[in-house]
Amino acid sequence: MATPQTMFEKIWDRHVIVTRGGNECLLHIDRNFVHEGSFHAFGALARDGRKVRKPRQTIAVADHYAPTRNREQGINAVTDPEMRNMVDLLAKNVAANDIDRYYDLDSPQQGIVHVIGPELGITQPGLVITVADSHTSTHGAFGAIAFGLGASQLKQILATQCLWQKKPKLMRITVDGAIPAGVTAKDIILAVIAKIGTAGATGHAIEYAGSAMRALSMEGRLTVCNMSIEAGARCGMVAPDDTTYAYLNGRHYAPRDALWDQALAHWRSLPGDDGARFDKEVSLDVSKLEPMVTWGTSPEQALMIGATVPDPARGANAEQRTQLEQAVKYMGLTPGMPLADIKIDNAFIGTCTNGRLDDLRAAAAVLKGRKIVVKGWVSPGSTTIKRQAEAEGLDRIFKDAGFEWRASGCSSCVAMSGDTVPAGERCASTSNRNFEGRQGKGARTHLMSPAMVAAAAITGKLTDVRTLTGGK
């Protein structure tokens, strides 16, 4: 009998063109997305006198610098000349390279690259997908190998549609247990990162398995895979199943009719074989998990909402103590204070982590009939989601509560479009990184689920959402 293979190995092997020097594989890239930040790679490509080799396998979208206010003005809403240049450069590079699949600021399908890939049915099981963006791991929720890279490797893909890669090690994270009410995919992935650390999966591809993962919607699986990079992983994956196929069926780029049947048969062969070997195994029982928040400046500094700010003096070694001290200082906290006493100034809902329709519904369910006491804004993950939310009346709930209802883009997650959090202010955020300065110089970020951001916005401090929804 053949050696049992993991899902990763099945997909990887199918994409290897040649192997060089024993361990370096030339991989075929099925789909490659570009965004405004890809200008370095396009520039280098042009300087070499080259063009994009496979424009039809290249999808372009404006997201990082997308203005979330005054969007009806299109590009004119981008008032900063350098930001405007970023959006203009993408348009020029797309035109110069005959890329037809381009979702510009005015496109009804525009959105964050990791949201529109799945939404349009471009992201499919069994593919190898790349984007010059670390959150490319998101797409792995469909059972694809999807990873981020820098400008030089992007240039290589644009020029050749191939990439030299060493096969990563494999880690399986098995998430079991019934997911308690008020606990979401975001809480699960924050718990995983808190457990293994931000370098816990460095050099590894993660496959998420277990009953809790199977129970998650595609939206939830996308949230979990999205933050795999925050655990250091090369990529994160979930084996495709009926949830995956039901999500894909009928999407714009999904196969139809006989091709659908053929694709489905292939997709069903992708889950790993029984007995397949992983280099590392981690397990997590979520049945006792409570809503999570980050208190510090690294995603691993996450705790259940009932906990207190750690005492740096209790760090395991000098290096860790210094790191904890710096985090407590930057965040303006006092060791020992309950997390639920931390007052916030801003609330942000959106991003490739938590900007999907399910996320907006979860936040709106908490906000309905209530008012927020801080500045709050919502930037849906895509323009399509924005329309869907409006059709359901979610925009009214957000606006009535006091949230600003904005257009789609990366917004205050990466704070490149001008959507920044002022220095010294604190933001409850559905984003993925609480690094120093991530949401703006001196800004303080607390990561949590959309429902938890809604709860914090209502009370003005970090709050267990279950106290508002009757779940506790």
Partner 1 sequence: MEAFTKLTAIAAPLDMANCDTDKIIPGRFLRKLRGPGYDKLAFHDIRFNADGSEHPDFVLNKTPFRNAKILVAAVNFGCGSSREAAVYVMWDFGIRCVIAPSFGDIHYGNELQNGMLPVVLPDEVCAKLRAQLNAQPGAAISVDLDAQKVTGPDGAHYAFAIDANSKERLLKGLDDIGLVMQYSAEIEAFERRHLSAMPWLA
For partner 1, the closer of residues 445 and 459 by Cβ is 445
Answer for which of 22, 275, 336, 470 binds partner 1 (CB under 8 A) is: 22
For partner 1, the closer of residues 166 and 343 by Cβ is 166
Is residue 91 a contact point for partner 1 (CB under 8 A)? no
d(CA 54, CA 360) in angstroms, rounded, equals 36
Least distance in angstroms from the C-beta of 199 to partner 1: 4
d(CA 311, CA 450) in angstroms, rounded, equals 28
Is residue 49 a contact point for partner 1 (CB under 8 A)? no
Answer for which of 4, 74, 108, 150 binds partner 1 (CB under 8 A) is: 150
Is residue 72 a contact point for partner 1 (CB under 8 A)? no
Answer for which of 198, 217, 388, 469 binds partner 1 (CB under 8 A) is: 198
Q: Within positions 334 to 393, which residues make up the interface with partner 1, using CB under 8 A?
A: none
Q: Based on the number of CB atoms within 10 Å of its own CB, is 46 exposed (0-12), middle (13-18) or buried (19 or more)?
A: middle
| Coil, helix or strand at residue 366 | helix
Is residue 195 a contact point for partner 1 (CB under 8 A)? no
Least distance in angstroms from the C-beta of 372 to partner 1: 26
How many residues bind to partner 1 according to rule CB under 8 A? 72
Residue type, 354: N
Question: Which two structure tokens, joined as six digits, stand for 135?
Answer: 């959150």
Residues contacting residue 61 through CB under 8 Å, at least 6 positions apart: 33, 34, 35, 102, 103, 104, 110, 111, 112, 113, 116
Is residue 30 a contact point for partner 1 (CB under 8 A)? yes
Q: Pick the stretch among 220-228, 357-365, 408-416, 458-466 that binds partner 1 (CB under 8 A).
A: 408-416
Answer for which of 111, 117, 118, 232 binds partner 1 (CB under 8 A) is: 232
Tell me if 143 sits within 8 A of 433, measured CB to CB: no
Q: What is the DSSP string of 153-220?
A: HHHHHHHHSEEEEEPPEEEEEEEESPPPTT--HHHHHHHHHHHH-TTTTTTEEEEEESHHHHHS-HHH
Q: Within positions 238 to 267, which residues make up the interface with partner 1, using CB under 8 A?
A: 255, 259-260, 262-263, 266
Is residue 441 a contact point for partner 1 (CB under 8 A)? yes
Tell me if 429 sits within 8 A of 363, measured CB to CB: no
For partner 1, the closer of residues 248 and 401 by Cβ is 248
Q: Within positions 102 to 141, which residues make up the interface with partner 1, using CB under 8 A?
A: 126-127, 132-134
Is residue 433 a contact point for partner 1 (CB under 8 A)? yes
What is the radius of gyration, based on Cα positions, of the chain? 22
Is residue 307 a contact point for partner 1 (CB under 8 A)? no
d(CA 368, CA 357) in angstroms, rounded, equals 16
For partner 1, the closer of residues 85 and 174 by Cβ is 85
Is residue 180 a contact point for partner 1 (CB under 8 A)? no
Answer for which of 11, 83, 213, 309 binds partner 1 (CB under 8 A) is: 83
Pairs from 316-325 (Cβ < 8 Å, separation ≥ 24): 323/298, 324/296
Give the closest residue to 237 by CA, choosing from 3, 7, 1: 7
